[in-house]
Structure 1
Amino acid sequence: MLGTFSSVKQYLKFDITRVVIDNIVFKLHYRWTFVLLLVATLLITSRQYIGEHIQCISDNVVAPVINTFCFFTPTFTVVRHLNNTALDSGSVFQPGIGPYNRNEDKIKRHAYYQWVPFVLFGQALCFYAPHAIWKYWEGGRIKALVYGLRMVGLTKYLNSDSLRIGKLNIPSMAEVEDRVINIRRTMIDRMRLNQSWGAHLVTAEMLNLLNLCCQIYLTHRFLGRQFLTLGIKVLRERWVDKMDALDIVFPKVTKCTFFKYGAAGSLQEHDTLCVMALNIMNEKIYTILWFWYAFLFTITVLGLIWRLLTLFFYKNVTFTRLSLYWAKPGKLDGSDLKAVIEKCNFSNWMFLFFLRTNLSEFLFEKVVYHLASEFPNSPIHDNDINDYKAREREAAGGSSGKYPLLERLDTVDAPLLHHRAAVGAGTAPVQTPIDGATLPV
């Protein structure tokens, strides 16, 4: 079984170096729904789980011939035999199976099973399409800025050389400082030039909802207009009646009529009974899809409501604090944050949000601080990290402990804090792990 699904396992891997450019709602579309539909396609096309897709009974026709004919030609059930009364009375032994008059009885044809794997695979591609479009619009900007900055807590052991272990890259302290300056410069440039980043993201999220609605409607048409209420009927009828919605939409036994010429040249009609093993899997797949689509629709609408809130309240400092904390927990300086978001439009704010998602608390705090120092209305900063931490320590107001900020910051800043604390206390110089040199008091 693992060998059968090996083609989709790559989409389920957890990659610590992966750069986040979307939210959980987006991932439910292009990752989880995409994988779910691919797995369903593999199940339908794998005979090892359900055996032969169709087996038909006929007295005078060779089995391979009648099986192939009835699989490629739509089978049918008789509508007047699709009722629980006939099943309870013993008039019919299977829903829709019984004697019928070709000229009078209405029949229900079933041809969808020939197209199920193609439809499922096509739907999987449709759910991936908005993500592919968004990646093209995003252009790798976030990745270019933050890639390799996930493990900055270990950079205190590196001075000027970065360390690469497999796919994991640990940047040096000098590289981190350069990257922070580069992020600041890029953000300043974006505030002047690029105003469409956020609009493209909102468009891609709306495409997710539009695609989901289209796929629900197409599935409804594909299953003979029986899909929209399928899940509700299953919950209501599955364990109550002998025949439920699944028996009507996915019949296990159907009829097939085969014509051939006899030895004397007369036309012979063969009424054939077919066992649809394929529908055992189809009914499970589409029942799961009904509940998944209902869940996905709810989450997608809630996600768009959240996006609408960000569009209206992104200038609010409290809302921004909560949003950035939700993106990744951590404390931010209120005055610096206010100075930055006052200069941001919605696209800049969204770009800042995804920077926060991919950066550690300390690095993002430095980015916000440096950005705030660029704006003329903000307090005058000298961009010196020790002065910045000294101002933060004074704002903390009498924290206990020898190094009061060590609990609040990433360990990448620990050498600076040790040096600062030692100088403030008038103690001996501290040996730093940055270059092995002793900093003067």
Structure 2
Amino acid sequence: MESLFSSLKTFFKRPPVIIDNLAFRLHYRGTFIVLVACSLMVTSKQYFGDPIDCISKDDIPNKLLDTYCWIHTTFSIENAWKKTVGHEVPYPGVDKATDGQKRVYHAYYQWVCFVLFFQAAFFYIPRFLWKAYEGGRVAKLTENLNAPLGSDNKRIELLAKYLKVYEKRHNHMFYFYSFMEILNLVNVLVQMMIMNRFLGGEFTSYGWDVLQFTEWDWSVRYDPMIKVFPRLTKCTFHRYGSSGDVQKHDAMCILPINILNEKIYVILWFWFYMVAIISAITIIYRLTTLLFRQVRLSRTKAHCSIVDRNNLETVLDRVSVGDWFLLDMLARNMDASCFNRLIELLKGNNINAKV
């Protein structure tokens, strides 16, 4: 199992330079890792066995029947979900097939690993766009300024000169980053809609149904996870008989893979709703940083507690929201004493504006 997830270890390492917030990292690191890990588990036959095993009383080879039913999908009988198991039906959704009965076909299990992987890729796109747009600017500006003993006063002065020369020219960074946060929210909402469509409209209420399952009366109780991810289904195989007539063979198929799938999508249901709520709160917070200077002041002060509040307030009164956004990222990546010195220089307003 360790070898299975060894490729994900690099995503747990702290980046040398922080250019985003925790909510942003929840998308391209947290959700990305969860989705890729789930995709790897679904494809790991050695840990969870064969994905499908079909049984039939006829002389059809089991391996052939397994392959056929996996490729051509299996189905359940709609009106057999709530019948009494052991008396009316052998398993929820499995019943004698007659003409006119509504069948629910299950084909998603063939695509789960691919869908999870592509979803993970989409969660990384905003990070890729923001990193390309930022272009390593913060890393270059804070080079050798993240250690108290290695602080270079000359570099701090050069950084202060840069900020003075390019004062009120960083709004584009703030607005692009805000757009990426909106894109994160749109992405998670679209992904939830895709998953709902992928699971036949069952994903939207899937988590609530599972939570309410334990409160149902035993006389009418059936596991909602079994309806979405049935562990036993039906499959019909047609072939020519010895006389040349078409023969129909009825088979029942066990889907061990769905034991894993149902757990994965319960976790994803709660995870996606959590990420969507946090993303919406983040956008509201981003709007407050745009409208209220005191929020920006408190935010940057929290990153560098030793900086003089009056000096910081004087600087933020003069600069634009984009300049504050860059200063806030510098505060997160610079040593506190270096950042305090930078604010003192910017507040002094006596910097020679020549780089």
Task: Tell me which interval the TM-score lies in, with the shorter structure as reference length.
Answer: over 0.9
- In structure 2, distance between residues paired with 1:215 and 1:64: 35
Confirm whether residue 109 of structure 1 aligns to residue 100 of structure 2. no
Q: What 5-or-longer segments of structure 1 have no aligned partner? A: 156-170, 376-380, 383-441
Query: 1:9, CA displacement in angstroms?
Result: 1.1
Shift of 1:244: 2.1
Does 2:139 align with 1:150?
Answer: no
8 Å contact kept, 2:78–2:93: yes
Query: Where does residue 11 of structure 2 map in the other structure?
Result: 11
Amino acid at match of 2:260: M
- State whether structure 2 residue 255 is matched by structure 1 residue 276: yes
Where does 1:18-33 land on structure 2 (aligned, <5 Å)?
Answer: 18-33=16-31
Distance (whole Å) between structure 2 residues aligned to residue 191 and residue 294 of structure 1: 40
Contact 1:19–1:147, Cα closer than 8 Å, also in 2? no
Deviation, 1:239, is: 6.5
SS of 2:236 mapped into structure 1: strand
Residue 126 of structure 2 is aligned to residue 130 of structure 1 = yes
How many equivalent pairs are there? Answer: 348
1:238 touches 1:244 (CA, 8 Å); kept in 2? no
| Letter of the structure 2 residue corresponding to residue 63 of structure 1 | N
Aligned to 2:62: 63
Shift of 1:87: 2.0
What does 1:84-123 align with in structure 2 at a 5 Å threshold? 86-87=83-84, 90-101=87-98, 103-123=99-119
Q: Secondary structure at the match of 1:271?
A: strand
Deviation at 1:238, TM superposition (A): 4.6
Q: Is the 8 A contact 1:321 1:332 kept in 2?
A: no
Structure 2 partner of 1:79: 78
- Using the size of structure 2 for normalisation, the TM-score is 0.94
Question: 8 Å contact 1:37–1:124 — kept in the other structure?
Answer: yes
Q: Note the alpha carbon deviations across 1:41-73, whole angstroms, 9 max, x for none.
A: 000000022100000002221111110010011
Question: CA–CA distance in 2 between the matches of 1:233 and 1:342?
Answer: 52
Q: Is the 8 A contact 2:311 2:343 kept in 1?
A: yes
Q: Separation in 1 of the partners of 2:239 and 2:310?
A: 87
Q: Is the 8 A contact 1:52 1:277 kept in 2?
A: yes
- Residue by residue over 1:169-214, the C-alpha shift from the partner in whole angstroms, topping out at 9 and shown as x without a partner, is xx4x5xx212212221221233154431101110111010010100
Q: Does 1:207 align with 2:205?
A: no
Give the whole-Å Cα distance in 2 for the aligned partners of 1:131 and 1:89: 53
The structure that has the greater radius of gyration is 1
Question: 1:238-277 to 2 correspondence within 5 Å?
Answer: 238=214, 240=216, 242-277=221-256
> How many angstroms apart in 1 are the aligned matches of 2:306 and 2:153?
20
| 2:313 aligned residue | 338
Structure 1 stretch displaced more, 138-147 or 272-281: 138-147
User: How far apart in 1 are the matches of 2:86 and 2:257?
Assistant: 28
> In structure 1, the residue corresponding to 2:167 is in which secondary structure?
helix
What SS class does the counterpart of residue 8 from structure 1 fall into?
helix
- Checking the alignment, whether the CA contact within 8 Å between 2:85 and 2:91 is kept in structure 1 is no
Please, which runs of 5 or more residues in structure 2 have no aligned partner? none
RMSD over equivalenced CA pairs, Å: 1.7
Quote the residue 2:345 is aligned against: 370
CA distance in 1, matches of 2:348, 2:17: 27
Using the TM superposition, give the Cα deviation of residue 267 of structure 1 relative to its aligned residue in structure 2, in angstroms: 0.7
Relative to structure 1, the CA distance from residue 239 to residue 73 in structure 2 (aligned partners, 3 Å threshold; closer, same or farther) is: farther
Deviating more after overlay: 334-343 vs 364-373: 334-343
RCO higher in structure (CA 8 A, sep ≥6): 2
Alpha carbons 1:145, 1:182 under 8 Å: kept: no
* Distance in 1 of aligned mates of 2:321 and 2:14: 31
Number of the residue aligned with 1:359 = 334
State the 1:336 CA deviation.
2.2
Q: Give how far 1:100 is off.
A: 1.8
Residue 206 of structure 2 is matched in structure 1 by 230
TM-score, structure 1 length as denominator? 0.76
Determine what percentage of the aligned residue pairs are the same residue.
34
Contact 1:219 1:227 in 2 (8 A): yes
- Describe the shift of the 1:47–1:207 C-alpha distance in structure 2 as closer, same or farther (beyond 3 A): same
State the secondary structure of the residue aligned to 1:77.
strand
- Name the counterpart of 1:423: none
